[in-house]
Amino acid sequence: MFTGIVEETGVISGRLSGASSGELHINASLVLEGTKVGDSVAVNGVCLTVTRLGKNGFSADVMPETLRRSNLGTLKNGDRVNLERAMPADGRFGGHIVSGHIDGTGRISSLKREGNAVLVKISAKSEILSLIVEKGSIAIDGISLTVAALDGESFTVSVIPHTAEQTTLLSRQPGDTVNLENDIIGKYVQRLICAPKPESKESRITEDFLAQHGFY
């Protein structure tokens, strides 16, 4: 589990791609501290398992489902990515519950400065928008952000200077795709509400049944 508080940005230093899967090599420093092979690191919000460690970075396999759901397949050597280690049990919960399991991608519509912040508007599919609420949380490329506005086709977040400095979000341009993960609590609530109700079975216990079995 992650919190959406990005620890550092890494750089894609190599990739091996097959027809539907591949391997990423990422240069990093901070997230290597205490990390072992088999540990999880969120890369642009995608939970990946460390398969190899080096002095200057790590490698991770990327499976077909990950490529279908995220923008990792579009990354090139030299691209910067947001990195976060899995949250330790005694860590601070600075963001919100982030699983690292991407729901889909959105597309940046516009970036507009507002005082010391930048408003980033992102268009997304209806199934993602249906789980977003104003003032709720969403993870964008692994960054925990608060929804400032919402309409039928897009949502907007406000990015403060610290987030801009620590992440890659404001280096994006209109038209770029970003990974989106909805609040997991909202997904569970929607599942419970929309799940088909079990068929009710008519009780076989009647007054006659009770009388026949000695209940008067």
In the chain, the domains with their CATH numbers are 8-85 (2.40.30.20), 104-194 (2.40.30.20)
Residue 65: enclosing H or E segment and its boundaries?
helix 64-69
From 93, 94, 82, 85, select the one nearest 31 (Cα to Cα): 85
pLDDT at 151: 95
pTM, two decimals, is: 0.86
pLDDT at 15: 82
Cα 160 to chain centroid distance, Å, stands at 20
- For 44-62, what is each residue's pLDDT tens digit? 999 999 999 999 999 999 9
Low-confidence ranges of the chain (pLDDT < 70): 18-19, 200, 216
Residues 6 or more apart in contact with residue 28 via CB below 8 angstroms: 8, 10, 11, 56, 57, 58, 83
